[in-house]
Chain A
Amino acid sequence: MAQMTMIQAITDALRTELKNDPKTLVFGEDVGVNGGVFRATEGLHKEFGEDRVFDTPLAESGIGGLSIGLALTGFRPIPEIQFFGFVFEVMDSIAGQMSRMRYRSGGRYNMPITVRSPFGGGVHTPELHSDSLEGLMAQTPGLKVVVPSTPYDAKGLLLSAIRDNDPVIFLEHLKLYRAFRQEVPEEEYTIPLGKADIKREGTDLTIITYGAMVHESLKAADELAKEGHSVEVVDLRTISPLDIDTIIASVEKTGRAIVVQEAQKMAGVAANVVAEINDRAILSLEAPVLRVAAPDTVYPFSQAESVWLPNYKDVIETAKKVLTF
């Protein structure tokens, strides 16, 4: 086993699948010789050559269309959108085309595409680099949306995403790329899509979250433990489809829940999780299910982001409201 950062685990997964499957292709802006602006594709161009790992012209819609056409001719494309804030340029290819191809063609064509993209706040980027837009994706029928929170999960989830025969949006939080190292097996392993992971067990309150907020939630759980509260942290890992069974089992056990997301509050993933809990476990609840989320503004200019972004203190505050209800 090796100690890896999340970005190393991602590169490792890409290398593994480029080796395993000659039909996989890695491409995007600056992913070739340069190895990607975050080095997610470091060394892959050299190892697998221009035919398998290549730079594209700078045009996101073109990258989306290219992926669709390559999938139609038997390839398994793994395009990179350099920052997920650029996704608006490729929304038609993603939400109007690849997500609908299996449906539109009555099952004749499928789109085994994994769109990888960095997102998430806290690293002082210019505008339209840090936005959490996973809700847009989760609201698009025909897509699966994956957000890993650890190096181990990133490798196993990315391998599953690439092998999936339907399009997957794989969102990599910028702040987690090099935040910490973790034991990651060098051999291949997969983590199934649509399965949440209990990152910490507890009995008094469930925190349901994903991405960088998993770590804020774990930190909050540590603090709350000091005050005698046993908190369970459920990492969704896949936000579409949701792992309803794990969420409901945990809420039925604890009777109290909050949902934490980095994205703005309005019409988000957290709202959907709350609604599912209300639909299925209302009689198990001792308190209303509350949300921790960012305010409903545009992602802030970077000097305000430390206040704008939800953090463990916000989680503790909301958790206490629910615990003392």
Chain B
Amino acid sequence: MASKTQNAPLDAKKGLQAVEEQFQTFQILNEEGEVVNEAAMPQLTDEQLQELMRRMVYTRILDQRSISLNRQGRLGFYAPTAGQEASQLASQFALEKEDFILPGYRDVPQLIWHGLPLYQAFLFSRGHFQGNQIPEGVNVLSPQIIIGAQYVQAAGVALGFKKNGTKAVAITYTGDGGASQGDFYEGINFAGAFKAPAIFVVQNNRFAISTPVEKQSAAKTIAQKAMAAGIPGIQVDGMDPLAVYAAVRDARERAINGEGPTLIETLTYRYGPHTMAGDDPTRYRTADLDNEWEKKDPLVRFRKFLEKKGLWSEEKENEVIDQAKEDIKEAIKKADAAPKQKVTDLMSIMFEEMPHNLNEQYEIYQAKESK
């Protein structure tokens, strides 16, 4: 031995401890609607702040109406969104029109605010293919049903933007359960390896159907999983619209500047059941926990914040509520007017040209359906 360097003792836990200490929740607006992080305040005009509030109120009403329409049998598959407005809407609010959204099944509100007509959201819920015929110029996919599949696709959309020189990002959403999927890791890793402009949002609403987030992983935060892919990760108060907006805006800027993807974990809560298909949250959540999270409500804190600034009032709120109810009524009418879905419609959209076997079957079903 040429030199007498002293080796550090083996400490396999050191790196993990360092990582765990790094991940603190990013917040701008506390539960009382007070700004606790002035330096991080996003640059939003009064009109933009009001618009964000308008969207949250509107979407809360949409959720309430969707649940009751489902109970009346007038909507089909529906995954309630109340509680997650800041995570969903403030993240979409930070996007530009050319950005591409790859949603999970609860992420219908982001699609609507990105341009999907409301009646099509209702058609999706009813199981009609026209709900998924996204209009030209609206850059979204229809809601993904397989948990996490959208994560690997987002890496591809982002790489496509990079190769095309498009100044846009791919943003994708999953939940705390989704962060356990292989596709979650492959998606963030691919995007990182290609330095692709992607934003990966995990809305950690604490329960994957009934399984609590504590059972998903030994990782203390989902945000720290970004470290494995070598990309930035941040944990955000997902009930704070300003923090969510600031985090997504920052990730978008870095992505557009060629700095690659970001993983954003938003801490949030769904007040309702997993879906309207028979899930009963009282089987796995306590009323105390529900109450604790309802105190963090994004609408309540943002309302307080805006009222103090003289930007919001009961009158304004009622206008939004009336508008939402009116729009929903109209959209349901429009959805009711959609033509009855036929098996022959579905056959004709399988391929660019129908192959032999489908052609034969088409004739059989055409005869059946014309009876």
Interface residues of A (CB under 8 A from B): 25, 51, 56-57, 59, 61-62, 64-75, 92-93, 96-97, 102-110, 141-142, 144, 164-166, 194, 241-245
Q: Tell whether, in the assembled complex, residue A141 and residue B350 are in contact, meaning their CB atoms are under 8 Å apart.
A: yes
Q: Tell whether, in the assembled complex, residue B160 and residue A65 are in contact, meaning their CB atoms are under 8 Å apart.
A: no
Once the chains are docked, how many angstroms separate the CA of A109 from the CA of B155? Answer: 17
| Chain B stretch 319-361: residues in CB contact (< 8 A) with chain A | 346, 349-352, 355-358
Asked if B81 is an interface residue, CB under 8 A from chain A, the answer is no
Q: Tell whether, in the assembled complex, residue B132 and residue A104 are in contact, meaning their CB atoms are under 8 Å apart.
A: yes
Q: A93-B152, A107-B133 are in contact. Are A70 and B189 (CB under 8 A)?
A: no
Q: Tell whether, in the assembled complex, residue B153 and residue A68 are in contact, meaning their CB atoms are under 8 Å apart.
A: yes
Interface residues contributed by chain B, number (CB under 8 Å): 41
Once the chains are docked, how many angstroms separate the CA of A136 from the CA of B217? Answer: 33
Q: Tell whether, in the assembled complex, residue A57 and residue B156 are in contact, meaning their CB atoms are under 8 Å apart.
A: no
Q: Tell whether, in the assembled complex, residue A105 and residue B153 are in contact, meaning their CB atoms are under 8 Å apart.
A: no
| Chain B stretch 146-205: residues in CB contact (< 8 A) with chain A | 146, 149, 151-161, 163-164, 166, 170, 182-183, 186-187, 189-190, 193
Q: Tell whether, in the assembled complex, residue A105 and residue B132 are in contact, meaning their CB atoms are under 8 Å apart.
A: yes
Q: Tell whether, in the assembled complex, residue B164 and residue A74 are in contact, meaning their CB atoms are under 8 Å apart.
A: yes
Can you give 28 contacting A-B residue pairs, CB < 8 Å? A56-B190, A59-B189, A59-B190, A61-B152, A62-B183, A64-B152, A65-B151, A65-B155, A65-B156, A65-B190, A66-B152, A66-B155, A66-B156, A68-B153, A69-B159, A70-B160, A71-B156, A72-B153, A73-B100, A73-B166, A93-B149, A97-B146, A103-B349, A105-B141, A106-B130, A109-B134, A241-B356, A244-B357
| Residue from B157, B189, B350, B357 in contact with A69 in the complex, judged by beta carbons closer than 8 Å | B157
- Least Cβ–Cβ distance between B48 and chain A, in angstroms: 29
Q: Tell whether, in the assembled complex, residue A51 and residue B155 are in contact, meaning their CB atoms are under 8 Å apart.
A: no
- Least Cβ–Cβ distance between B156 and chain A, in angstroms: 2
Residue of A with least CB distance to B358: A241
Residue of A with least CB distance to B133: A106
| Residue from B130, B156, B166, B346 in contact with A67 in the complex, judged by beta carbons closer than 8 Å | B156
Across-interface contacts of B151 in A (CB, < 8 A): 65
**9 A-B pairs with least C-beta separation:** A69-B156, A65-B152, A73-B160, A241-B355, A106-B133, A62-B186, A69-B157, A66-B156, A106-B129
Asked if B142 is an interface residue, CB under 8 A from chain A, the answer is yes
- Least Cβ–Cβ distance between B99 and chain A, in angstroms: 12
Once the chains are docked, how many angstroms separate the CA of A3 from the CA of B160? Answer: 37
Across-interface contacts of B133 in A (CB, < 8 A): 105-108
Across chains A and B, the number of contacting residue pairs, with CB separation under 8 Å, is: 136
Once the chains are docked, how many angstroms separate the CA of A65 from the CA of B200? Answer: 14
Q: Tell whether, in the assembled complex, residue A103 and residue B155 are in contact, meaning their CB atoms are under 8 Å apart.
A: no
Across-interface contacts of B160 in A (CB, < 8 A): 69-70, 72-75
Across-interface contacts of A108 in B (CB, < 8 A): 132-134
Across-interface contacts of A65 in B (CB, < 8 A): 149, 151-156, 183, 186-187, 190
Across-interface contacts of B146 in A (CB, < 8 A): 92, 96-97
| Chain B stretch 45-78: residues in CB contact (< 8 A) with chain A | none
Across-interface contacts of A102 in B (CB, < 8 A): 349-352
Residue of B with least CB distance to A142: B350
Residue of B with least CB distance to A238: B355
Across-interface contacts of B186 in A (CB, < 8 A): 57, 59, 61-62, 65
- Least Cβ–Cβ distance between A59 and chain B, in angstroms: 4
Q: Tell whether, in the assembled complex, residue B350 and residue A97 are in contact, meaning their CB atoms are under 8 Å apart.
A: no
Across-interface contacts of B356 in A (CB, < 8 A): 194, 241-245
Residue of A with least CB distance to B188: A62
Q: Which of B132, B153, B163, B352 has the most chain A CB atoms inside 10 A of its CB?
A: B153
Once the chains are docked, how many angstroms separate the CA of A212 from the CA of B258? Answer: 47
Q: Tell whether, in the assembled complex, residue B349 and residue A69 are in contact, meaning their CB atoms are under 8 Å apart.
A: no
Once the chains are docked, how many angstroms separate the CA of A93 from the CA of B130? Answer: 23
| Residue from A66, A74, A105 in contact with B190 in the complex, judged by beta carbons closer than 8 Å | A66
Across-interface contacts of B158 in A (CB, < 8 A): 69
Q: Tell whether, in the assembled complex, residue A51 and residue B163 are in contact, meaning their CB atoms are under 8 Å apart.
A: yes
Once the chains are docked, how many angstroms separate the CA of A104 from the CA of B141? Answer: 10
Across-interface contacts of A51 in B (CB, < 8 A): 163
Q: A68-B152, A241-B356 are in contact. List 9 more A-B contacts (CB 8 A).
A: A57-B190, A62-B186, A66-B156, A66-B190, A68-B156, A73-B160, A75-B160, A102-B351, A104-B132
Q: Tell whether, in the assembled complex, residue B346 and residue A62 are in contact, meaning their CB atoms are under 8 Å apart.
A: no
Once the chains are docked, how many angstroms separate the CA of A108 from the CA of B130? Answer: 10
Once the chains are docked, how many angstroms separate the CA of A73 from the CA of B168? Answer: 11
| Chain B stretch 20-62: residues in CB contact (< 8 A) with chain A | none
Once the chains are docked, how many angstroms separate the CA of A142 from the CA of B156? Answer: 21
Once the chains are docked, how many angstroms separate the CA of A245 from the CA of B357? Answer: 11
Q: A96-B146, A106-B349 are in contact. Are A62 and B153 (CB under 8 A)?
A: no
| Chain B stretch 109-152: residues in CB contact (< 8 A) with chain A | 129-130, 132-134, 141-142, 146, 149, 151-152
Across-interface contacts of A105 in B (CB, < 8 A): 132-134, 141-142
Residue of A with least CB distance to B154: A69
Once the chains are docked, how many angstroms separate the CA of A93 from the CA of B183? Answer: 10
Across-interface contacts of A57 in B (CB, < 8 A): 186, 189-190, 193
Q: A69-B159, A74-B160 are in contact. Are A62 and B189 (CB under 8 A)?
A: yes
